[in-house]
Structure 1
Amino acid sequence: MRAHILGTGFAVPDGVLSNSDLEKMVDTSDDWILSRTGISSRRIADQKTAASDLAYLAACSALEDAEIEPQQLDMIIVATMTPDMPMPATACLLQHRLSASKAAAFDLNAACTGFIYALAVAEHFLLSSHYKYILVVGAEVLSRVVDYTDRNTCVIFGDGAGAVVLGKDEGDHGILATYLAADGEGWDLLKIPAGGSRYPASAETVANRMHYMQMQGSEIFKFAVRVIPQCAERVLERAGLAIEDVDYLVLHQANLRIIQTAAKKLNIPWENVLVNIDKYGNISAGSIPLVLAEAVSENRLKKGDLLLLIGFGAGLTMGAALVRWSR
């Protein structure tokens, strides 16, 4: 018995923030952004759109693709670092909007690795309990926590959501293995300092811009290119497979240079790497399910393809999943 991806979906807001737009907002240029990130544009939500709104659209698309009704869902997991509010969970708001009345619902925050963590949690629930269908969503509105006076971060991040519906079945397809890890020593490299119990919101935290994302970009780059091969090795070992067996590499869309470096280290041809960071930017927990769902919508995947999914991000967190495509 294995957990299978029955359906995929994604949603991005209509608003587009191009590099030329950013040139008017901060000291940067199209060439500077492209050479360092590979990003040409990113999607930005309007002020009325929250994470649950994008999650809902992606979830509806995934449910339709899976031919599953919301009332059939047993659980909803939303991976996000930009929830609608500190409480209740965004997953509960999504459950209500979907009318998925019998589904348990909770959020999970592992930053950019969030979808991989949520996928692994969902797999274990499916295989060790009576749960039949689980909705996993990665959704972010990062434009709310980006400092648009900091050219090193504001050029990177965008808004969007991706979703998968999981079920279970016999056979050798589906989720073959997962691997999760963390390195809390690097907690300070990527953070939003204020808004929690350490530094609750105050006039001082707002004045000091402590509610915006802070990132040591060069250190995050070094971390990513180091741990991606490690994650690949661990998850492949658990499945008894080799890197040569992989048909598609599905990385967190953090930075094009990271993706290119990782593909070379893993010796995976560029045509076998799923990439959409150029038009959407870094969507944290939403990036992996979004690039996966977009590939499905473009009919790039075929039954039997082996997908290597790898995430990495704040925490520091990292993880991987190996999926034999079953559709």
Structure 2
Amino acid sequence: MKVDDFNFDLPPERIADRPVVPRETAKLLRVENIISDNLVSDLPDLLRAGDLLVFNDTKVIPARLRGMRRGAKVEVTLHKNVSADSWHAFAKPAKKLKPGDIITFSDEFTALVTEKRGGGEVALAFSVSGPDLMEKLMEYGEIPLPPYISSLRAVDDQDLEDYQTIFAKDEGAVAAPTAGLHFTDDLMSKFSAKGIESVTLTLHVGAGTFLPVKVEDTKDHKMHSEVGIISTEAAEKINKCRSSGGRIVSVGTTSLRLLESACSEAGQVQPFNGETDIFITPGYRFKAVDLLITNFHLPKSTLFMLVSAFSGLEKMRNAYQHAIEGKYRFYSYGDCSLLYPKS
């Protein structure tokens, strides 16, 4: 399909630069055969006993670093962990970097450029590793807010809390699984009281999620791979829900992409520990997920392609136009939607 098929006009004022408080008061657009306006706090009544919410428990790290290389400023955003001391990263400016260059973040914290990988991407080997590297990231890094937020304002201490879900525990993401940002402990208690259970998996979201699609046809786009984990226990709980007649409710496109990557043709989710670069566009047959909770995505993005595959392109175009006219807030800190599969 042509990438332009997934374009739409979004007024800049519809981009959220902060989340609403409390989180569950965000708007929620229910997109089924008809479109209806709700709040996230309505979800316990919109779902039913026996449904299973699937959350991504990845934890965002301060993955954006600013340093110097031979007197020139360099910014790097880590996106994929390779080993205890090595990451792939996107660099600005990348053209002047070459293998062998040293990027200095402080007197005791540096990174060696070991490879140029194209598209502004480099491979870095840090001067510290493991827990020591994480300590340095906490000291010198910043939360890598998406460009559509960081271009509006500076990152601040409030983002350390706002850009993290209540499920976050496994460090490694450089972008939040943003649908999960709407959920609070109070809301989770209401799900439990309704007989709606939950389970977690891990997909470490990479900075590739921010990259624009630069090709004209979707078949020519290459997704960056991300590391995901589904435990044996989580897979068993998901399959038990499905066999009992419950619905699998993916909270976020990251959870959905990992579930679909780990699912057999027969609809059984398998334990998973590895990389996925699954790219979902219209025509894809969903095997693992029955409902999707997700935020509103960028025009011509791989995520708008995914939701169009799930619910139908024309339906999503209408839903997004409704959201724009209804003053919904878009993107990472914005409102969300409850999507039903196309019939």
Query: Greater CA radius of gyration, 1 or 2?
Result: 2
Is the helix fraction higher in 1 or 2? 1
TM-score of the aligned structures, taking structure 1 as reference length: 0.27
How high is the TM-score relative to the length of structure 2? 0.26
